[in-house]
Amino acid sequence: MNHPFRRSMVWTALLAAPVLIGATQVPPAPPAVAVPAASDAIDEVVEPGMASDIVPFIQPFDLDATRRMSVKVMVGGKGPFAFLVDTGAERTVIARELAARLDLIEGAKLRLATIGGSATVPSFRIAALQMSNLHLAAVDAPAFYGRHIGAAGLIGVDMLEERRVLIDFRKETMQVLETRKRAQPIIRDDDAIVVTARNSAGRLILSDARLNGKRIDVIVDTGAQTSVGNMALQKLVASKRANRFPFFPTELMAVTGEDVPALRTAIKRIVINGMDVNDLPVSFADSQAFRALGLEDRPAMLLGMDSLSLFDRVEIDFPNRRVVFDLPDAAGRQSGQRMALNIVASGG
């Protein structure tokens, strides 16, 4: 049985996500926590070919101006500061302004893949991160300017990969839970969609997603406001005439501050394990981020928050390589938080 997602198209900004793979069409919203102003410098960008390998709690979250999840985090006992939870980011990130404000010790330079190429950025030692009563281990975090990441920092999969994350969009809460191999899903509703995934550099890539019968790779990315596809997916969409309207040129902003040329349209229909997602807005870019994951030649996309927040709940279990989508009971959504959604059953 297929569950078609029929949704209105959204023409809002794409926002950046590190390792970094999201991007934005307009300057990101100001960080939720004020930090000292920084210069207008752009992080050093190198050529794509030079890239190198790069306790349960309930945490309320806010959907920021770009519809990404913002949580309150203590950094070395100070704060709280607004960090974005980013399942598309391999590394936890701190804003350069916040690192300076907290007088953190600078470490080695790191080279990371971004939407536009590869960037060499400083890292800073964070002694401890705390969300509610969950204490996260010390980390050497790469740093980008806060105005480019749109927050004081990002919680990446390096902090989440041994756990599972349960996001409840109805209650606007997130749980980070212990898990074990072969653990049963928390979401067990009859209409829940369970999708297995494979792991690539900590990211979960859904294994059963298709466009006109052709398999595509889909990465669940809570750090991206909307979806970004690679050029292999763009070519597939064009060849299948699966675009709702003609492609038009646009620009994405990488976390380094650089502008990246892209094409944009809405994909008529993508099927994820029997669930139809219709009229999905996507921007397409020739991105080093996909090359870093070995996905430059395979149709692939990052599934952003505009789609994820349509569900009542989403469970992301990293050790068991599984994502569960809890379909909403009704089409109604709170204004400004959830978009209109109609779900009907049809023969598959």
Widest CA span in the chain = 59
- Cβ contact 220:308 at 8 Å: yes
Helix (H, G, I), strand (E, B) or coil at 237: helix
**Could you give the CA distance from residue 45 to residue 51 in angstroms, rounded to a whole number?**
10
226 and 297 share a domain? Answer: yes
In a domain, 345, yes or no: no
Containing structural domain, residue 84: 44-159
pLDDT of residue 174: 80
CATH number for the domain including 261?
Answer: 2.40.70.10
Select from 159, 181, 208 the last residue of a domain.
Answer: 159
Does 63 score more than 80 pLDDT? no
Total domains in the fold of the chain: 2
7 and 58 share a domain? Answer: no
149 and 202 share a domain? Answer: no
**Could you give the CA distance from residue 309 to residue 170 in angstroms, rounded to a whole number?**
9
- Cβ contact 233:255 at 8 Å: no
Give the DSSP letter string of 86-98: -TT-SS-EEEHHH
**Could you give the CA distance from residue 72 to residue 100 in angstroms, rounded to a whole number?**
19
Percent of the chain with pLDDT over 70: 75
152 and 243 share a domain? Answer: no
- CB atoms under 10 Å from CB of 209, counted, come to 22
261 and 178 share a domain? Answer: yes
CA atoms within 13 A on the CB side of 128: 12
In a domain, 29, yes or no: no
Predicted confidence band at 67 (pLDDT cuts at 50, 70, 90)? low
Least confident of 30-44, 192-206, 234-248: 30-44
In a domain, 91, yes or no: yes
139 and 202 share a domain? Answer: no
pLDDT of residue 163: 86
Run of H or E residues at 101: helix 96-101
- Write 266-270 long-range contacts (CB < 8 A, 24+): 266/9, 267/211, 267/237, 267/242, 267/243, 268/242, 268/243, 268/244, 269/4, 269/211, 269/212, 269/242, 270/209, 270/210, 270/211, 270/216, 270/218
212 burial (CB, 10 Å; 0-12 / 13-18 / 19+) is: middle
Select from 159, 188, 222 the last residue of a domain.
Answer: 159
**Could you give the CA distance from residue 211 to residue 268 in angstroms, rounded to a whole number?**
9
pLDDT of residue 195: 93
Helices assigned H by DSSP within 227-268: 231-239
Closest CA to 60 of 155, 171, 173: 173
Helix (H, G, I), strand (E, B) or coil at 100: helix
In a domain, 20, yes or no: no
241 and 178 share a domain? Answer: yes
What does the pLDDT look like over 119-173, one tens digit per residue?
A: 899 999 999 888 776 777 788 999 999 988 889 999 988 888 888 888 998 888 8
293 and 181 share a domain? Answer: yes
In a domain, 173, yes or no: yes
**Could you give the CA distance from residue 161 to residue 319 in angstroms, rounded to a whole number?**
7
271 and 178 share a domain? Answer: yes
Does 298 score more than 80 pLDDT? yes
> Looking at this protein, which amino acid is placed at residue 219?
I
DSSP category for residue 30 = P
**Could you give the CA distance from residue 318 to residue 133 in angstroms, rounded to a whole number?**
21
